[in-house]
């Protein structure tokens, strides 16, 4: 079984509570025996998969498989194409790790996503923009560290897709079991 979950802001990608101020996956009524496939930190939102299939988990998480993950990152400022080149080329040094190349583009408009609660801070003097990034690796807080390294800190981060499966249609806090067609989208 593979479940797609739209993880809200402030929810940990685990079932046990370590800190009293964070919500966990335990409150969303998942079937027993499923576990998160990867992680999204508490201040990130979007698509999180859960499964009870160990071989699937390995296929999705093993770095050798280079399984793509797409993120939408709201950043401070408006980067130019030249600003984004270090992300596309790869090789950024983040905590002693050199990033692989990724696909990145400035989105033409803000994605159609519900407002975050609490809202992202607003500063009239600093515009924001949205980037779409597709990575084939998943280090801790990697997208945030990558955008900060090029001078455009991430304010809001959503995982919009995994493989060919998009988050579309799931409201924050809701989940569904993937159909056979959706499973195939997940593994392009």
Q: What is the pTM of this model?
A: 0.92
**Kind and range of the H or E element at 82?**
helix 81-89
What CATH number is given to the structural domain containing 82?
Answer: 3.30.70.1560
The answer on 116 and 76 residing in a single domain is: yes
The answer on 74 and 34 residing in a single domain is: no
A 10 A CB-CB count for 19 gives 8
The answer on 104 and 142 residing in a single domain is: yes
- 33 three-class SS: coil
The number of domains in the chain is 2
- CA dist 184 and 135 (Å) reads 19
The answer on 158 and 83 residing in a single domain is: yes
The answer on 41 and 77 residing in a single domain is: no
- CA dist 95 and 82 (Å) reads 23
The answer on 112 and 50 residing in a single domain is: no
Task: For residue 41, indicate whether it is catalytic.
Answer: yes
- Position 63 scores a pLDDT of 73
The answer on 74 and 30 residing in a single domain is: no
The answer on 131 and 82 residing in a single domain is: yes
The answer on 30 and 7 residing in a single domain is: yes
The answer on 127 and 103 residing in a single domain is: yes
- CA dist 67 and 78 (Å) reads 28
From 41, 58, 112, 168, the catalytic residue:
41
The answer on 171 and 103 residing in a single domain is: no
The answer on 174 and 157 residing in a single domain is: no
What CATH number is given to the structural domain containing 16?
Answer: 3.30.70.580
Q: Tens digit of pLDDT per residue, the chain (188 long)?
A: 999 999 999 999 999 877 677 899 999 999 999 999 988 999 999 999 999 998 887 788 777 778 899 999 999 999 999 999 999 999 888 888 899 999 999 999 999 998 888 888 777 778 999 999 999 987 888 999 999 999 999 999 999 999 889 998 899 999 999 999 998 888 76
- Position 178 scores a pLDDT of 94
DSSP E strand boundaries for the chain: 2-7, 35-37, 45-51, 69-76, 93-94, 97-98, 103-106, 128-135, 154-162, 165-166, 175-177
- Position 188 scores a pLDDT of 64
Structural domain span for residue 106:
68-162
* DSSP code for 18: S
């Amino acid at each position: 079984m593979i479940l797609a979950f739209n993880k809200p802001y402030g929810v940990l990608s685990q079932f046990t509570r370590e800190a009293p101020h964070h919500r966990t996956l335990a409150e969303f009524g998942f079937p027993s025996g499923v576990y998160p496939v990867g992680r999204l930190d508490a201040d990130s939102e979007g698509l999180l998969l859960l499964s009870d299939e160990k071989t699937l988990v390995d296929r999705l998480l093993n770095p050798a498989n280079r399984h793509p993950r797409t993120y939408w990152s709201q950043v401070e400022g408006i980067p130019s194409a030249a600003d984004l080149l270090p992300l596309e080329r790869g090789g950024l040094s983040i905590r002693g790790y050199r990033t692989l190349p990724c696909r990145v583009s400035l989105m033409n408009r803000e994605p159609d996503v519900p407002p975050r609660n609490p809202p992202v801070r607003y500063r009239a003097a600093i515009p924001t923009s949205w980037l779409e990034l597709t990575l084939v690796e998943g280090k801790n807080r990697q997208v945030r560290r990558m955008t900060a390294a090029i001078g455009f800190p991430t304010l809001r981060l959503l995982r919009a897709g995994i493989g060919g499966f998009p988050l579309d249609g799931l409201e924050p806090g809701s989940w569904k079991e993937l159909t056979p067609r959706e499973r195939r989208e997940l593994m392009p």
